[in-house]
Amino acid sequence: MAHSHSPRVLTNDRYSAVVTVLYRVLFLNLAVAIAKISLGYMTGTVSILTDGLHSLTDSASNVVGLVGVSVARRPPDANHPYGHRKYETMASIAIVVFLIVVLVQVLSSAVERLLHGGTPRVFPEGIAVMVVTLATNIFVVIYEMREGYRLNSEILRADARHTRSDVLTSIAVLGALIGVWYGYPLLDPLAAILVAGFIGHACWTIAKDASRILADEIVIAEEAVRLVVTSVPEVLGCEKIRTRGSADFAFMDLHVWLDRQTPLHDAHATSHVVKDLLIARFPQLEDVIIHIEPPPPGH
């Protein structure tokens, strides 16, 4: 029962748009990471260096996203009748892995500086570089999150949250640099530890969102579905409503009750009406499977 009634962006257009966003963001993230890492080595500032490594994983996650999207855009085949969209979700999990690697590096560097001491060299030009990279990160977050919601892309939203943690860490590092400038070198490793906290929060958020999809958590509330189904006069009720998938690519199956005297042809026609209404109300639905049956005894 194939129908053309979804106002969503066409699949190929959507994936092409997601890839374009990822390439643009990749270029900006690489520029930010190179600037921070270079500045960190020049000044011996552990907080800048770890922040640069954090930014470098933004670029790595962009590459992972490009790979994930290239696989996810493939149409359904004999071995993947539901399509390949979960590969995009799996790419989000890969971002978490990169973040965990950076988290370990940040904590080890911060602890080493706390134990052995050391005062980084801070100069006005370095602070100016951090301000420029902070402004770039803010632009990337706004742009990528906006496009992520417009295109309903998990990978773009996950990557934007990743970069958002960069904004918070850059603010913390910038504050630490100013503190070091005024004679408080301890703020440098403390800022690095704060960076670790932001990274850990990003890990949790991305992993939680991805796990909902991989675990087939409900996508659409049952009561909202029931209101649409029972609006059809011939329908006496419905049950066993199940939905799964992502926010923009979901599947549904349910049992619909019709009068037991309804001819097969009429029952089939009613199922088409129900399906059309459901997809019109919930355009994220890729397919709806309806099982027609009489109401249970005593209904």
Tens of pLDDT, residues 167-220: 877 887 888 888 888 877 778 788 778 877 877 887 888 888 888 888 888 989
Spatial contact of 167 and 103, defined as CB atoms under 8 Å apart: no
Q: pLDDT per residue over 9-56, tens digit each?
A: 445 677 788 888 989 999 998 999 899 888 888 877 777 887 787 777
Architecture of the domain whose range is 11-214: Up-down Bundle (1.20)
CA quadruple 94, 62, 74, 283: dihedral, nearest 10 = 90
Q: pLDDT per residue over 67-80, tens digit each?
A: 777 776 777 778 88
- The residue-averaged pLDDT of 285-296 equals 91
Domain 222-293 has CATH 3.30.70.1350: yes
Average pLDDT over the chain reads: 82
Classify each residue of 75-114 as buried b or exposed e, where b means 16 or more C-beta atoms within 10 Å of its C-beta.
eeeeeeeebbbbbbbbbbbbbbebbeebbebbbebbeebb
Domain boundaries, the chain: 11-214, 222-293
Q: What is the pTM of this model?
A: 0.65
